[in-house]
Amino acid sequence: MPGEETSDPYRVWLSEVMLQQTTVAAVTPRFERFLARWPTVEALAAAADEDVLSEWAGLGYYARARNLIACAREVAGRGGFPDTEEELRKLPGIGGYTAAAIAAIAFGRRAVVIDTNVERVVARLHGIDVPIAEAKDRIRELADALTPQVGAGDFAQAMMDLGATICRPRAPECTKCPLSPDCKAFASGEPERFPAPKRKLVRPTKHGIAQWIERDGCIWLIRRPAKGMLGGMAALPGPEWTADTANEGPALARVTHVFTHFRLELDIVAASEPEREGWWQALSQISDAGLPTLYRRAIDAVLESRTKLAA
DNA sequence: GACGCGTGGCA
DNA sequence: TTGCCAAGCGT
């Protein structure tokens, strides 16, 4: 974990994968639960897929969990984590950042660890005012030049801490920054202009229907296809989401959920019979179902409207 | 290089 | 309320 002194590659790997695009605050309690349940990579490798996906529920980017399982099995099969950046990079779910971070933090290798924090710090330091995507190679050269031969892992964590707390995207606290005397962005008087912002993404709205099939205090859940949105996760049954308005009839509830690249308006409608493979999940134990946030919110919305009607 | 892929916090 | 952003990866 951030700031934690550790060299156990399993812990470093697990925390780094969890932290991909996910905040420390969100990860910390989940990391502890994961570790308590599967203390070693061998234990994780032996776990059932659905148990791991369920434990990951709510963390998002579920391909990470699928890759985590595949990676754990590969590592357990070969008797442990490889200790070089090059070999780590070949494992599922381990890209350039994570391979470098594990090599440096867990194995004490010199590796150039580049995440968005490092990119921003370096871009400001050197006054790079084009979008990051156009300056990847230049930033790598500059980050390489900054990285010490010994202690690359500590250096990387220090750079990431600097980026997260002082050299923030907005309202950087340059007066507290040890690099400000050498920083071109600070010298410009407008450090926030560096690097140039990414192009804004358009977020269309999609519509969907989820079926509420209830019997004896249980609802019918299904498992989504292994690939694509919420791949492999537990879900309410229903047709694929579309760009068109899908439902004009009565709904038990509607939830709006924002994904990375679209907004979803999901109507939950009553249905009588299961139409595909799945299982009955007791509503009293719905939190054990491993539902991603979209479906957890959908079910909460139905139960809440029911409570209000009864009141 | 660009896009698909979740979620929650914050201004 | 809306948009931005987060210790990225796979295709």
DSSP A176-198: G-TTGGG-HHHHHT-GGG-SBPP
Q: Strand ranges (DSSP E) for chain A?
A: 205-212, 214-215, 218-223, 234-235, 253-258, 263-270, 279-282
CA A279 from centroid of its chain's CA atoms: 27
Residue nearest to nucleotide B1 (CA to C1'): A133
**What's the pLDDT at A109?**
97
pLDDT tens-place string over residues A286-308? 999 999 999 999 999 999 999 87
Question: What domains sit in chain A, N to C, each tagged with a CATH number?
Answer: 9-193 (1.10.340.30), 205-310 (3.90.79.10)
pLDDT tens-place string over residues A162-209? 999 999 999 999 999 999 999 999 999 999 999 998 888 889 999 999
C1' (B3) to CA (A270) span, angstroms: 35
**What's the pLDDT at A309?**
79
In the complex, which nucleotide's C1' lies nearest to the CA atom of residue A101?
Answer: C7
pLDDT tens-place string over residues A216-248? 999 999 999 999 999 999 999 999 999 987 778
Contact, A243 vs A204, CB < 8 A? Answer: yes
Contact, A251 vs A268, CB < 8 A? Answer: yes
Contact, A294 vs A264, CB < 8 A? Answer: yes
Dihedral, A250, A205, A287, A64 alpha carbons, nearest 10: 150
C1' (C7) to CA (A141) span, angstroms: 20
User: Which residues neighbour A222 within 8 Å (Cβ) at sequence distance 6 or greater?
Assistant: A234, A235, A236, A237, A276, A277, A278
Tell me which of A5, A16, A55, A119 is the catalytic residue: A16
pLDDT band at A110 (very low <50, low <70, confident <90, very high): very high
**What's the pLDDT at A310?**
76
**What's the pLDDT at A5?**
45
Q: Which tokens in the block code for residue A306?
A: 């029911």
**What's the pLDDT at A247?**
79
DSSP A101-113: HHHHHTT------
Least confident of A2-11, A95-104, A226-235, A300-309: A2-11
In the complex, which nucleotide's C1' lies nearest to the CA atom of residue A169?
Answer: C5
C1' (C10) to CA (A133) span, angstroms: 17
In this complex, the answer to whether residue A231 has its CB under 7 A from any atom of chain B, a nucleic strand, is yes
Length of chain A in terms of residues written: 311
Residues with CB under 7 A from strand C: A 1-3, 15-16, 19-24, 61, 63, 67, 92-99, 101, 115-117, 120, 157, 160-161, 163-164, 169-170, 197-198, 200-201, 203, 258, 260
Residue nearest to nucleotide B5 (CA to C1'): A61
Instruction: Give the Å distances, CA to CA, from A59 to A11, A17, A151, A291.
Output: 17, 11, 31, 11
**What's the pLDDT at A147?**
98
In the complex, which nucleotide's C1' lies nearest to the CA atom of residue A23?
Answer: C6
Q: Dihedrals φ, ψ of A127, to 5°?
A: 65, 35
Average pLDDT of chain A to the nearest whole number: 95
Contact, A121 vs A179, CB < 8 A? Answer: yes
Mean of pLDDT values over A78-102: 98
Residues 20-59 of A with CB under 7 A from strand B: 21-23, 25-26, 57-59
Mean of pLDDT values over A134-147: 96
pLDDT tens-place string over residues A27-64? 999 999 999 999 999 999 999 999 999 999 999 999 99
Q: Which chain C positions have some atom within 7 A of a protein CB?
A: 3-10
Pick left, alpha or beta for residue A286 (phi over 0 → left; psi -120 to 50 → alpha; otherwise beta): alpha
Alpha carbons within 13 angstroms on the beta-carbon side of residue A263 total 10
Is residue A4 annotated as a catalytic residue, yes or no?
no
**What's the pLDDT at A3?**
41
pLDDT band at A2 (very low <50, low <70, confident <90, very high): very low
